[in-house]
Amino acid sequence: MKKNKILVTGGLGFIGSHTVVELQNKGFDVVIIDDLSNTKIEVLDGITAITNIRPEFVQMDLKKKEDVVSFFKHHDIDGVIHFAASKAVGESVEQPLKYYENNISTLVYLLQSMTENKVPHLIFSSSCTVYGQADELPITENAPVKKAESPYGNTKQIGEEIIQDVTKVENLNAIALRYFNPIGAHDSVHIGELPLGVPQNLIPFVTQTAAGIREELSVFGDDYPTPDGTAVRDYIHVVDLAKAHIVALQRLLQGKNKSKMEYFNLGTGTGSSVLDVIHAFEKANQMDVNYKIVARREGDITAAYANTTLANEELGWKADLGLEEALYSAWQWQLKQK
């Protein structure tokens, strides 16, 4: 029987690579497009080392519309999982046009080629950042989308709206997956998070501090209205997150979606503070993390964690791995970095 062929854009990235592994584990035929702007080609070897199946790889800049058109002329694609985007919140504030060009024009070219070539299924990488600081916690999919705090967050909101409009007039079914905070690494330690330069996100900074690469972790504020004063997030193991993409894709392929565009929050449902993370890391790995409390980071929200009811009951997915497991895997991955 012909295998479904899935295009994964940004498939050599952190979440993308873990999703490719899970797609191959489920028997899908995978082709990756990545421009290698924020990853390394060695990730392809890491995926292959895990599954023994080398995915087809096309190095491409999705901003080149003619290349996108040509790709779809030469590949018979059954569905697309679209990760490719710039994702650094702080950088997006300094370089908004880079983010609007890279995250929006590429989505438009992708959708044009999908509709012209009758590719009817799209999974879109979105983010809980669309909620800003939600009024109610835990956050449900009905929480209002608030004015984005950054151009990065705005590109996710605009992206969802573009897809929604296209599903109204084209033969396109889509699911937007709104991630909370993805962390950790595959337990094989062949793939993981590869922050290039100084890490912006908490976990890579924690592991690099533990590894002595960074002098000290700065905890951005301990004066938030939270139990220990530090900000709260919903940290989800990247493997759990990857598996959710397969479940969502199968929902579309089997025609089980209840509307042409659906939204699911992907989190554990548990909020953890920055200090909770530090203590969990120290416990999971039997080591100390050197940190100091500094001022809040501009644009940070106090707390965000998911109401997982819709994902659990409608999508049929829930996170299985806990914070300590994720932090253990993150450290094992860090130890492997040169």
Residues that bind ligand WQD (CB under 6 A): 87, 89, 127, 129, 181, 200-202, 205, 217-220, 231, 233, 274, 297, 300
Nearest in space to 184 (alpha carbons), one of 255, 257, 252, 240: 240
- CB 100 to ligand WQD: min, Å: 16
Closest CB 159 distance from ligand WQD, rounded Å: 12
- CB of residue 1 vs ligand WQD: minimum separation in angstroms? 36
How far apart are the C-alpha atoms of 325 and 328, rounded to whole Å?
A: 5
Burial 143-165 (b: 16+ CB within 10 A, else e): beebebbbbbbbbbbbbbeebee
Report the residue number, 115 or 291, with the smaller CB distance to ligand WQD.
291
Whole-number minimum distance, CB 214 to ligand WQD, in Å? 9
Catalytic residue among 99, 109, 152, 305: 152
Report the residue number, 296 or 318, with the smaller CB distance to ligand WQD: 296
DSSP state of 139: B
**Judged by CB, which is closer to ligand WQD: 15, or 172?**
15
Q: Would you say 253 or 301 has its CB closer to ligand WQD? A: 301
Catalytic residue list contains 152: yes
- Cis status of the peptide bond prior to 138, with omega within 30 of 0: yes
Distances (CA, A) of 164 to 73, 176, 223: 25, 10, 39
Q: Could you give the CA distance from residue 56 to residue 70 in angstroms, rounded to a whole number?
A: 16
Length of the chain: 338
Question: Any alpha helices (H) in the chain, and if so which ranges?
Answer: 14-25, 42-51, 65-74, 89-94, 96-100, 106-116, 151-169, 202-210, 238-253, 274-285, 309-310, 323-336
Question: Least CB distance from residue 126 to ligand WQD, whole Å?
Answer: 9
User: Is 120 or 153 the residue whose CB approaches ligand WQD more closely?
Assistant: 153
Place of tokens 């979440």: 15
Catalytic residues: 152
